[in-house]
């Protein structure tokens, strides 16, 4: 690796930590890091710097500070600027100009204050179904994702992925305030697919209307129920649900119109309904009765076991849509001009799909989050090779030491009593050995073999000294001592595992080969991530969020770069022309 | 000051009211940002005395200038910018003769971002933090500021650019140089401590 190559790659290492790499740069960086020990070390150093800085909190301001500031601000007469402002705006009232300006601005504020601040990042406030593992979600209920503030709808929809992937085109999207609805738009509702594992992902680049990005992946996984939760179709609607799904959803609209919160949809459905819900107690699904069949009042949502009901030949689980019609039923008339019944009362906020199916509960999904999630969900090849996670990520105390042709990695997990050394060989294999070094019994001092090359000591030294194979494979150490890492992590998968250390994820496959991936975002929360970026694997179809598009367009002028360079040499000023930033660029023109 | 529950959602309303001279609104904004600005200045200057003085200076400047700002004011970036300039003013006056040391002993209990299981981890983290503080105090103000805004405050390159008056690509460049500088000084500090 030439010095020039490394010099060119190092800014990319820095940019990677700031989430400022595009795909090409990321690939370039990954390839370089896989083969360049020095730059890998630089990456780790940068990452370590981040961890070190973040782990320190400044002290809280003293209580006296607030009172002293108050004395110098609000307890002093209002600054002349406000009066100037009032006079400039030409306000001539019977009371003081200052008071007038206050009133006027408050009025303006109430008009223009549309609710959400520009600084607070957006987040998902809730969803239906919720993020806890949901089974048998009714296929007639659209998915609802509620944000904490108004979002840039186009941005959210652009950064939305739905698995199975063909559902993205099939399911309409609609908005109601801050809530995104999937499967229901203003003009139509569409059934979800039965017996299907869905994964809804909103990517970090989804923005609120101020341009603040979501920042983390938000993922919702759930499984739909068996069948459509309506009682019976009209005679000309004997198409099995699956078929109707394949054919498109126009025909389904009437089935769901009662769920549509628009008045038009209600009217459309009501045309086919003989009896309005007398007390509004029925669930939305139950209200979708056919027009011509008198139906015993349904007490329950569908269950997994059909139970034919007398006189109707129907079941209450939707299976009837595939049954022959046992009861003569008049031909469904075309919609007539029947007066629209009273609009049905609003269904209860979240009708529960009750009773719960009797199936055994699914196992708790195992999340893959943080740095591990970034690699696992971002690299399909990794995902396929590793299979599903078999346990949550664990933290351990680690130590690393670079060698001529590889590096050694100590994993010490006190809680699980695991004490092992991984030997990564640059050729692409890894060996895991027990760490048998005991400081009370063994003495393996590090020593310099020749200039710049060392015989490792202690933990690594014992293993290295006792194994000629390892010596041949990785050569001598290139530093006298290993570097410690108290925030390393490991997660086990069906066919391998991941190791996280100082900004790098090592993926070790079942055949003992390995890959290295620099963490792009700096992964707030390290390998652990936090709950907000947890992505769980709870099904066979592990659909990842695709790689987020990292904007890297150099949208600013080179002149500014040069200015930054020169200013940096001078040392100590931000680009503000005045020392008092208060009158900077955000001051209005008229001032 | 009285306590005001300032929901973030209401921030724009508070700003508008404060601009109109509403003292309660200004107090609310102050309470919302006091800790953040104080922390930023503390990290820049490295000591509580400067942090106190400059935080006060920052909010007084903000109070006086607020009525003249535009309606689309990004209050966070604006306050950080005032604070940045206040810090650099002081540093310039001192002609970069010396940097006050970090008062690590005064907030040692805050050095640990998360609970640790083992004494050795604590010791290691403590030692590392001492070194980090020492390194930061030796960095150039510009690089230091960019790193603090990025790593402590968690700001994006774009936000840092707003505060420092730089383009996004220029911020990336400053951050890279800052990390390199940090790395270089860190090694020197470590070498000194080993010597």
| Predicted local confidence at residue B166, as pLDDT | 86
Nearest-neighbour CA in chain B from A341: distance (Å): 41
* Strand ranges in A272-370 using DSSP code E only, listed in sequence order: 366-367
Contact at CB, B132 and A42, closer than 8 angstroms: no
Closest CB to B63: pick one of A73, A414, A560.
A73
From CA A97, how far away is CA A398, in angstroms rounded? Answer: 67
pLDDT tens by residue, A437-471: 877 777 788 888 888 888 998 888 889 988 888 99
Same domain, B183 and B155: yes
Same domain, B117 and B92: no
Contact at CB, B117 and A561, closer than 8 angstroms: no
Same domain, B10 and B92: yes
From CA A264, how far away is CA A270, in angstroms rounded? Answer: 10
Cis ω before A164 (30° cut-off from 0) = yes
Maximum distance among all Cα pairs of chain B, rounded to whole angstroms = 60
Which chain A residue has the Cα nearest residue B174? A564
Domain boundary among B68, B97, B126: B97
Give yes or no for A481 touching B (CB within 8 A): no
Residues A424 and A409 sit within 8 Å (Cβ to Cβ): yes
B105 is a domain residue: no
Burial A247-272 (b: 16+ CB within 10 A, else e): eebeebbbbbbbbbbeeebbebbbbb
Domain CATH code at residue B35: 1.10.1740.10
Domain boundary among B50, B66, B97: B97
Give yes or no for A582 touching B (CB within 8 A): yes
Q: Give the distance, in angstroms, between the CA of residue B16 and the centroid of all CA atoms in the same chain.
A: 25
CA dihedral over A257, A259, A260, A263, signed as positive or negative: positive
Same domain, B46 and B70: yes
Contact at CB, A61 and B34, closer than 8 angstroms: yes
Residues A300 and A274 sit within 8 Å (Cβ to Cβ): no
Give yes or no for A448 touching B (CB within 8 A): no
Residues A389 and A490 sit within 8 Å (Cβ to Cβ): no
Residues A574 and B44 sit within 8 Å (Cβ to Cβ): no
Cβ-proximal residues to A262 (8 Å cutoff; 6+ apart), any chain: A186
Which chain B residue has the Cα nearest residue A43? B179
DSSP state of A389: B
Same domain, B90 and B15: yes
ipTM value for the complex: 0.77
DSSP state of A587: B
Closest CB to A57: pick one of B106, B110, B179.
B110
Residues B85 and B41 sit within 8 Å (Cβ to Cβ): no
Contact at CB, B8 and A53, closer than 8 angstroms: no
A positions 56-75 inside 8 Å of B (CB): 56-62, 65-70, 72-74
Same domain, B56 and B92: yes
Give yes or no for A572 touching B (CB within 8 A): yes
Nearest-neighbour CA in chain B from A438: distance (Å): 17
Same domain, B80 and B149: no
| Predicted local confidence at residue A147, as pLDDT | 86
Same domain, B16 and B74: yes
The backbone torsions φ and ψ at residue A567, rounded to the nearest 5 degrees and listed phi first, read -65, -35
Domain CATH code at residue B139: 1.10.10.10
Work out whether strand A218-224 and strand A197-202 pair parallel, antiparallel, or are unpaired: antiparallel
From CA A99, how far away is CA B21, in angstroms rounded? Answer: 9
Count CA atoms within 13 Å of residue A527 on its CB side.
26
Same domain, B139 and B53: no
Contact at CB, A73 and B88, closer than 8 angstroms: no
Same domain, B117 and B34: no
Give, for A471, the enclosing helix (H) or strand (E). Answer: helix A468-474
Range of the domain at B178: 113-195
Give yes or no for A85 touching B (CB within 8 A): yes
Contact at CB, B142 and A557, closer than 8 angstroms: no
The DSSP-derived string for A404-470 is TTEEEEEEEETTTTEEEEEEEETTTEEEEEE----TTT-----EEEETTEEE--HHHHHHHHH-HHH
From CA A518, how far away is CA A522, in angstroms rounded? Answer: 9
Nearest-neighbour CA in chain A from B100: distance (Å): 16
Same domain, B59 and B147: no
| Predicted local confidence at residue A576, as pLDDT | 38
Domain boundary among B73, B97, B121: B97
How far, CA to CA in Å, does A560 sit from each of A22, A573, B169? 21, 14, 8
| Predicted local confidence at residue A78, as pLDDT | 54
Question: Would you kindly state where each structural domain of chain A is located, as residue ranges?
Answer: 3-53, 81-113, 124-224, 370-537
Residues A121 and B11 sit within 8 Å (Cβ to Cβ): no
Which chain A residue has the Cα nearest residue B167? A556
Count CA atoms within 13 Å of residue B157 on its CB side.
26
Residues A500 and A526 sit within 8 Å (Cβ to Cβ): yes
Closest CB to A74: pick one of B23, B39, B133.
B23
Closest CA to B159 of B36, B13, B60, B7: B36
Q: Could you tell me how many residues make up chain A?
A: 591
Contact at CB, B55 and A61, closer than 8 angstroms: yes
Domain total of chain B = 2
B45 is a domain residue: yes
Cis ω before A179 (30° cut-off from 0) = no
Contact at CB, A109 and B52, closer than 8 angstroms: no
Tell me the chain B residues in contact with residue A576 when contact means C-beta distances shorter than 8 Å: 81, 84-85, 165
B108 is a domain residue: no
Q: Three-state SS across A263-285?
A: HHHHHHHHCCCCCCCCCCCCCCC
Tell me the chain B residues in contact with residue A579 when contact means C-beta distances shorter than 8 Å: 85-86, 88-89
Token pair in block for residue A322 = 């595939």
| Predicted local confidence at residue B115, as pLDDT | 36
Closest CB to A59: pick one of B15, B107, B142.
B107
Give yes or no for A575 touching B (CB within 8 A): yes
Give, for A241, the enclosing helix (H) or strand (E). Answer: helix A241-247
| Predicted local confidence at residue A109, as pLDDT | 53
Same domain, B126 and B184: yes
From CA B110, how far away is CA A144, in angstroms rounded? Answer: 41
B179 is a domain residue: yes
Closest CB to A69: pick one of B60, B88, B91.
B60
Residues A213 and A121 sit within 8 Å (Cβ to Cβ): yes
Closest CB to A486: pick one of B63, B125, B173.
B125
Each residue's pLDDT expressed in tens, for chain B with a length of 195 residues = 433 444 444 677 888 888 888 888 888 888 889 999 999 998 888 788 889 999 999 999 998 888 888 878 888 899 999 999 888 878 776 644 343 333 333 333 333 333 334 555 566 666 666 777 778 888 888 889 999 999 888 888 988 998 888 888 899 999 999 999 998 888 888 787 766
Which chain A residue has the Cα nearest residue B182? A49
Q: At what angle do helices B168-194 and B157-164 cross, to 10 degrees?
A: 90
A positions 148-207 inside 8 Å of B (CB): 149
Burial class (CB in 10 A: 0-12, 13-18, 19+), B92: middle
Which chain B residue has the Cα nearest residue A589? B70
Give yes or no for A83 touching B (CB within 8 A): no
Work out whether strand A134-137 and strand A218-224 pair parallel, antiparallel, or are unpaired: parallel
Closest CB to A574: pick one of B55, B151, B165.
B165
Closest CB to B69: pick one of A11, A58, A588.
A588
From CA A27, how far away is CA A49, in angstroms rounded? Answer: 23
| Apex B16 CA angle, A122 and B155, nearest 5 | 35
CB atoms within 10 A of CB A474: 24
Contact at CB, A72 and B39, closer than 8 angstroms: no
Q: At what angle do helices A3-17 and A23-35 cross, to 10 degrees?
A: 120
* Top CATH class, A124-224: mainly beta
Each residue's pLDDT expressed in tens, for chain A with a length of 591 residues = 677 888 888 899 999 888 888 888 888 888 888 888 888 888 888 888 887 777 667 778 888 888 888 888 877 655 454 444 444 443 343 445 555 555 556 555 544 555 445 667 788 888 888 876 567 788 878 898 988 888 888 889 888 888 887 788 888 888 888 889 898 877 777 788 877 888 888 888 888 888 888 887 788 888 887 654 333 333 333 333 333 333 333 333 332 333 333 333 333 333 343 333 334 333 333 333 333 333 334 433 433 333 333 333 333 333 333 333 443 433 434 443 444 444 444 444 444 444 444 445 555 678 888 888 888 887 888 888 999 899 888 877 778 888 888 888 888 766 666 788 999 888 778 888 888 887 777 778 888 888 888 899 888 888 998 888 899 999 999 887 777 766 678 888 999 999 888 778 889 998 888 888 877 654 444 666 544 444 444 443 333 333 333 333 333 334 444 444 444 444 444 443 333 444 343 444 333
Tell me the chain A residues in contact with residue B76 when contact means C-beta distances shorter than 8 Å: 119
């Amino acid at each position: 690796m030439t010095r020039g190559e490394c010099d060119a790659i190092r800014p990319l290492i820095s940019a990677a930590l700031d989430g400022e790499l595009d795909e090409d740069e990321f690939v370039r960086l990954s390839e370089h890091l896989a083969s360049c020990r020095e730059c890998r070390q630089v990456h780790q150093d940068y990452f370590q710097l981040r961890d070190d800085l973040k782990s320190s909190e400044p002290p809280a301001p003293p209580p006296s500070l607030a009172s002293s500031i108050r004395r110098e601000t609000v307890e002093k007469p209002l600054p002349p600027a406000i009066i100037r402002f009032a006079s400039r705006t030409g306000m001539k009232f019977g009371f003081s100009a200052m008071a007038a300006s206050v009133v006027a601005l408050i009025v303006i504020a109430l008009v223009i204050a549309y609710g959400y601040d520009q600084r607070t990042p957006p987040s998902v406030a809730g969803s239906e179904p919720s993020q806890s593992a949901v089974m048998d979600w009714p296929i007639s209920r659209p998915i609802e994702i509620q944000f904490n503030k108004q979002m840039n709808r186009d941005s959210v929809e652009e950064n939305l992925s739905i698995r199975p992937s063909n559902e993205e085109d099939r399911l309409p999207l609609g908005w109601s305030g801050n809530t995104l609805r999937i499967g229901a738009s203003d003009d139509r509702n569409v059934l979800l697919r039965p017996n299907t594992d869905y994964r809804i992902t909103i990517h970090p680049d989804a923005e609120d209307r101020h341009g603040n990005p979501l920042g983390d992946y938000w993922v919702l996984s759930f499984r739909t129920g068996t069948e459509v939760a309506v009682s019976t179709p009209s005679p000309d609607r004997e198409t099995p649900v699956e078929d109707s799904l394949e054919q498109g959803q126009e025909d389904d609209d009437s089935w769901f119109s009662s769920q549509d919160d628009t008045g038009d949809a209600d009217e459309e459905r009501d045309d086919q309904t003989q009896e309005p819900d007398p007390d509004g107690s029925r669930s939305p699904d139950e209200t979708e009765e056919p027009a011509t069949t008198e139906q015993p009042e349904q007490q329950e949502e569908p269950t997994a076991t059909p139970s034919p009901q007398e006189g109707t030949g129907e079941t209450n689980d939707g299976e009837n849509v595939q049954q022959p019609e046992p009861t003569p039923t008049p031909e469904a008339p075309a919609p007539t001009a029947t007066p629209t019944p009273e609009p049905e009362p609003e269904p209860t906020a979240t009708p529960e799909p009750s009773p719960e199916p009797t199936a055994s509960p699914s196992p708790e999904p195992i999340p893959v989050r943080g740095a591990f999630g970034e690699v696992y969900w971002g690299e399909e090849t990794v995902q396929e090779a590793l299979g599903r996670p078999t346990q949550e990520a664990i933290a351990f105390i680690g130590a690393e030491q670079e060698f001529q042709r590889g590096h050694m990695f100590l994993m010490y997990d006190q809680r699980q009593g695991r004490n092992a050394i991984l030997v990564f060989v640059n050729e692409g294999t890894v060996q895991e050995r027990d760490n048998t070094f005991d400081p009370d019994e063994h003495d393996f001092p590090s020593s310099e073999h020749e200039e710049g090359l060392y015989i490792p000591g202690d933990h690594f030294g014992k293993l290295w000294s006792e194994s000629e194979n390892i010596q041949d494979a990785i050569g001598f150490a290139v530093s006298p001592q290993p570097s410690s890492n108290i925030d390393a992590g490991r997660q086990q998968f069906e066919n391998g595992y991941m190791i996280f250390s100082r900004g790098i994820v090592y993926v070790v496959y079942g055949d003992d080969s390995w890959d290295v991936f620099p963490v792009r975002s700096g992964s707030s929360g390290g390998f652990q991530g936090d709950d907000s970026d947890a992505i769980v694997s709870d099904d066979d179809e592990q659909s990842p969020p695709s790689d987020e598009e990292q904007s890297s367009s150099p949208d600013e002028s080179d002149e500014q770069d040069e200015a930054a360079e020169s200013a940096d040499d001078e040392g100590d000023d931000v680009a503000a022309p005045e020392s008092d930033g208060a009158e900077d660029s955000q001051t209005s023109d008229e001032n | 000051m009285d306590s005001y529950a300032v929901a973030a959602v209401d921030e724009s309303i508070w700003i508008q009211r404060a601009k109109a001279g509403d003292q309660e609104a200004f107090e609310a904004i102050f309470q919302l940002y006091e800790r953040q600005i104080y922390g930023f200045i503390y990290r820049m200057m490295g000591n509580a005395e400067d942090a106190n003085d400059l935080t006060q200076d920052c909010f007084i400047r903000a109070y006086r200038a607020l009525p003249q700002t535009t309606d689309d004011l990004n209050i966070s970036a604006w306050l950080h910018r005032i604070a940045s300039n206040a810090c650099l003013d002081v540093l310039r006056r001192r002609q970069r003769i010396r940097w006050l040391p970090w008062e690590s002993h005064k907030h040692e209990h805050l050095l640990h971002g998360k609970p640790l299981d083992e004494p050795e981890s604590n010791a290691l983290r403590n030692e590392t933090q001492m070194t980090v503080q020492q390194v930061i105090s030796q960095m150039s103000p510009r690089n230091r500021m960019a790193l603090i805004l990025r790593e402590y405050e968690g700001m994006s390159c774009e936000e840092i650019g707003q505060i420092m008056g730089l383009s996004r690509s220029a911020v990336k460049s400053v951050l890279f140089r800052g990390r390199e500088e940090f790395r270089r000084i860190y090694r020197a500090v470590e070498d000194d401590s080993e010597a």
